[in-house]
Amino acid sequence: MRYMIRWTLITLLLLNAFSTAEQLEPKPLDAETMWRLVRLASPAISPDGRQAVVAVTRYDMDDDSSVTNLFLIPTDGGEARQLTTHAGSDSSPTWSPDGSHLAFVSKRGDDQQRQIYVIPLAGGEARRVTELPTGALAPQWFPDSQQLAFISPVWQDTDDWQEMAERLKAEKDSRVSAKVWDAAPVRYWDRWHQQRRPHLFRVSRQGGPVQPITSGSGIHLPISEPGVSHFDISPDGQEIAVVADSDPTGVESNLDIYLVPAEGGEARNVTSDNPAPDFSPAYSPDGQWLAYSQRQIPGFYADRARLALYHRPSGDHQILTEDFDRTVSGAIWDADSSGLYATVDDAAHHRIYRIDVPTGQAGAITQEHSFTDPRLSADGGVLVALRQSFTEPPTLVRVDPTNGEVTQLSTFNDSLLADVTFGRYESVTYPGADDAPIQMWVVYPPGFDPDRRYPLYLLLHGGPHNGIPDGWHFRWNAQVFAGWGYVTAWHNFHGSSGFGQEFADSINPYQSELPYRDTIEAARWFASQPWIDPDRMAAGGGSYGGYLASILLGREHPFQALVAHAAVFNWFTQYGADYGASRRRFGEFWQDVDHYQKSSPHFGAGNFNTPTLVIHGQLDYRVPLNHGLDLFNILQNRGVRSRFVYYPDENHWILKPNNSLHWYRTKQQWLDEFLR
């Protein structure tokens, strides 16, 4: 009896152990788990390099809310320390040059708009230093650590803050909803442009009166996305380099670099000879140079951005990276002004490069995975950045500037991801259109068995020039799709960034042709693999990816189902949108009707016969809602199995947590219906 009891106990223990092991068995990544991950914003590094601060955002699925707080992380390793605990949004941290204070943007208590706050690092509470009715953003310290520059969108016909407050109240209380414009553009992404314009101001770190910098200078910062990258302060604190649009109409936008006295005054355009955008100004620590990025083809966002230098004493310009066939923007200076660091979109990776000033030679510091937002300490000894891959969300790391050795610093998501099993992924190259080598990412389902045959979900990226690097994607996560049991792929078809200017520009002006052929060749490559079922293949994408899905819909293809999210469906109506991407580069539609007809998916409607999931947001002003409605109604009119998913409170992307979960579930149901 004693032995029977003993074996019974052992059996129960073993069963319990097996049950526990089964419960703890890692699961594929799903959308619900993904929304539990925290998200890291661009870091800031202390002048002595000993600490980094990063804004960390957590989401609450119950009410679609988020909280963003600041965390201090030692760069030599150690636990993160929460610096702010406010139940709101603390963002845009920046260290004072003397390392004693941290400025950031927040909306707290009775704040009606976001304001600038300053917190002493030695201890103490954050103090609000601006109280503007129009709000404040993008703080940047002056070299004396006593004052800050920042941006506020203001009316240009008054400098009276009380009058501005009264105007804002009148707008809020008015029963008239009409808005009036005399010039385009009138809206951007998901918001209507206001009559106010972004201007620079300065304020003491103790608070007090706000002084204008660019008001009266004849310029203002870009109305679309004003931010800290649009201005920089000289090392002596006497001058500010500002990005502003030199086209007074705003239709043929041309960003230039202007120099403005820090006390305010007339702005001087130092890049007027270039008809294309100049942006991302950065003063060298020795004050001799102003670095900036320059494109040379007007109206073409995928034109290679060259790193340029303006020599302040002589006024001479030079292109530093003319022989480097990659885009360089957002560069930061080395401490001795001998070189710059920048993240470069390079062959399906975002790599940190160092560019030597005397020679212009560019050398990659990192190789594997992707790195963004590099930040360098004042002495040049410590470099931090965000690292990411298909299996790692953005993570703060330290990068050795000499050998590229990487040390992980943040661990916010480690425990949650420990319970996730990721699918293996790899980069492959296949012959695309005209036998050109096309790079493609392939993500295999967890537990992939090469002796089985899997369905394929081929993703079509947006842009069309936004190449897909080895990075983490919250909106279209290939690991989530692979977790559903699909081999998931993302090909960098002709036109993708990161493979040189000729490759990027190869699809113009007929953006419908080479990417379509590359997609067909990708499907053929997969169909030839023994682990793919060629009768169970789908393709889908958003923005240009939705456009390419619509092109496939009207032409011969091997896919059993398609997904078209925020698809450009009619080039003629897209011409009249606020972002008419084609008009500047490819001409007016009444001058080249044949080009627009060849490129517009709606002319292929007579061939539509593939089940298609159509998704669109009401607030999508990049690709307005009419495109999704037109596509769905034409599919319905032709009797093609289709579904229209409409989000009244979303824009070009699905950003709200619960809407995102619905988006993932809807897509999974759609793919399962035709591929399972």
The DSSP secondary-structure symbol of 99 reads: S
Q: Report helix angle 544-553 to 514-527, nearest 10.
A: 70
| pTM of the shown model | 0.94
2 is written with which tokens?
A: 């004693």
Count CA within 13 A, CB hemisphere, residue 480: 20
pLDDT of residue 226: 72
Q: How many CA atoms lie within 13 A of 673 on its CB side?
A: 15
DSSP output for 255-271: EEEEEEETT----EES-
For 88, other C-beta atoms within 10 Å of its C-beta total 17
- Residues 6 or more apart whose Cβ sits within 8 Å of residue 98: 47, 145
pLDDT tens-digit series, residues 606-647? 999 999 999 999 999 999 999 999 999 999 999 999 999 999
Of 158, 252, 153, whose CA–CA distance to 194 is shortest?
153
CA-to-CA separations, 616 to 603, 620, 624, 631, 659, in angstroms, rounded: 20, 8, 9, 11, 12
Q: For residues 235 and 245, what is the distance between their CA atoms, to the nearest angstrom?
A: 25
CA 548 and chain centroid, separation? 21
Check pLDDT > 60 for residue 17.
no
For range 558-565, the mean pLDDT = 98
What are the residue boundaries of the structural domains of the chain, listed by start? 421-675
Q: In this structure, what are the phi and psi dihedrals at residue 197, rounded to the nearest 5 degrees? A: -130, 145
Pairing state between β 306-311 and 487-491: unpaired
CATH code of the domain occupying 421-675: 3.40.50.1820
User: Phi and psi (nearest 5°) for 120?
Assistant: -75, 135
| Structure confidence at residue 404 (pLDDT) | 94
pLDDT at 587 (0 to 100): 79
Characterize 445-469 residue by residue with b for buried, 16 or more Cβ atoms within 10 angstroms of its Cβ, and e for exposed: bbeeeeeeebbbbbbbbbbbbbbbb
Please give the C-alpha separations between residue 557 and each of 315, 521, 538, in angstroms, as whole numbers. 56, 10, 10
Check if the beta carbon of residue 381 is closer than 8 Å to that of residue 49: yes
Going 424 to 429 to 431 to 432, the CA torsion angle's sign is positive
What pLDDT, on a 0 to 100 scale, did the predictor assign at position 592? 87
Amino acid present at 357: V
pLDDT band at 584 (very low <50, low <70, confident <90, very high): low
pLDDT of residue 391: 98
Tokens (6 digits) for 62 = 């119950």
Give the number of C-alpha atoms closer than 13 A to the C-alpha of residue 642, restricted to the C-beta side: 25
Euclidean distance between the first and the last CA atom of the chain, given in angstroms as a whole number: 53
Question: According to the model, what pLDDT value does residue 621 have?
Answer: 95
Mean pLDDT along residues 22-38: 85
Give the pLDDT score at 589: 87
Using alpha carbons, list the distances in angstroms from residue 644 to 208, 607, 619, 630.
Answer: 53, 19, 16, 11
Q: Which helix (H) or strand (E) holds 292?
A: strand 289-294
Q: What is the pLDDT of residues 375-404, one digit of tens each?
A: 999 999 999 999 999 999 999 999 999 999
Question: In the 8-state DSSP scheme, what is residue 656?
Answer: S
pLDDT confidence bin for 50, thresholds 50/70/90? very high
343 strand-pairing partners: 352
